[in-house]
Amino acid sequence: MTSSPKKKAKPRSVLPGFGLSLGFTVFYLSIIVIIPLIGIFVKTSGLTPGQFWDTVSNARVVASYKISFLTSFYAALINLVFGLLIAWVLVRYQFPGKKIIDSLIDMPFALPTAVAGISLTAIYAPNGWVGQLLEPLGIKVAFTPLGITLALIFIGLPFVVRTVQPVLQDLDNEVEEAAVMLGAFRWSTFRRVVLPELIPPLLTGFALAFARGIGEYGSVVFISGNMPMKTEIAPLLIMTKLEQFDYRGATAIALVMLVASFLLLLLINYLQWRSNRRVVSA
């Protein structure tokens, strides 16, 4: 006998290194993401429940949550529509300067957010290039929630474009032709055949833009004007608390944002899973 009968042949996976790679993934996520996040909980736990509640239910804090989540939501929504449009144009049509436009899409990633914030403020302030045109119409952009949304649209732009683009590129042309041969004209072909295939990447892009918007600080602080109760975003409030050495207060606000963002992303992932299920799963 060459092998002991007690030793059962272990079913081996064809892909090697599962244990090693999973171990590394968990370790890596721990030091990069999980431990810092736990730090927030630990720091916050220095507060009594009463103190915690007072901090997070303070009117100014609640207003800042509202501003942060609403402006991020609207910005992500606008990016959803126009990101799809831009991805569509970049994939479907050939035109001079296409490569340049394509690389412009990534600019908001590369540009320091403060630079973006300052330039947007300069342009949309009541005496700026665009601001002075809008002023007589009664539209104020800078130093209003509209301005915050604008800054968030700017920084969230690449997400939807870059998630939708590859999927749109891989769409089988024959599927649209099949719809045409079955009598569908352009709009119904788009709505019934193309759009459903794009929903998973659209949701991903939306979630990323939304999450990025909630945490965004640099570009917003300039254009928002930071008026308490009106245009003060939650991340700024956290900064303010930190500057006053109120670390526990800062982490308390952060904790609420963390939990809320996590729940929202979970919801979006669930929606995505639902729409993806039929197409991808076997």
CB of 166 to another protein, least distance (A): 16
CB of 279 to another protein, least distance (A): 5
CB of 174 to another protein, least distance (A): 4
Closer to another protein by CB, 17 or 196: give it: 196
Closer to another protein by CB, 99 or 278: give it: 278
Alpha carbon 256 to chain centroid distance? 18
State the amino acid at position 25 in one-letter form. Answer: T
Would you tell me which residues interact with another protein (CB under 8 A)? 172, 174-175, 177-185, 188, 192-193, 196-197, 275, 278-282
DSSP-derived secondary structure for 10-58? PPPPSS--HHHHHHHHHHHHIIIIIHHHHHHHHHHTTS-HHHHHHHHT-
Closer to another protein by CB, 100 or 181: give it: 181
Closer to another protein by CB, 38 or 178: give it: 178
CB of 177 to another protein, least distance (A): 6
Distance CA 107, CA 154 (A): 10
Closer to another protein by CB, 75 or 179: give it: 179
Residues making up the chain, counted from first to last: 282
CB of 200 to another protein, least distance (A): 10
| 236 closest CA partner among 251, 221, 255 | 221
CB of 266 to another protein, least distance (A): 23
DSSP-derived secondary structure for 89-157? HHHH---TTHHHHHHHTTHHHHS-HHHHHHHHHHHHSTTSTTHHHHGGGT---TTSHHHHHHHHHHHHH
State the amino acid at position 212 in one-letter form. Answer: R
With 0-12 CB in 10 A as exposed, 13-18 as middle and 19+ as buried, what is 161? buried
Closer to another protein by CB, 98 or 192: give it: 192
**Cβ–Cβ under 8 Å, residues 61 and 69:** no
Q: At what angle do helices 247-280 and 195-215 cross, to 10 degrees?
A: 170
CB of 278 to another protein, least distance (A): 5
Closer to another protein by CB, 179 or 253: give it: 179
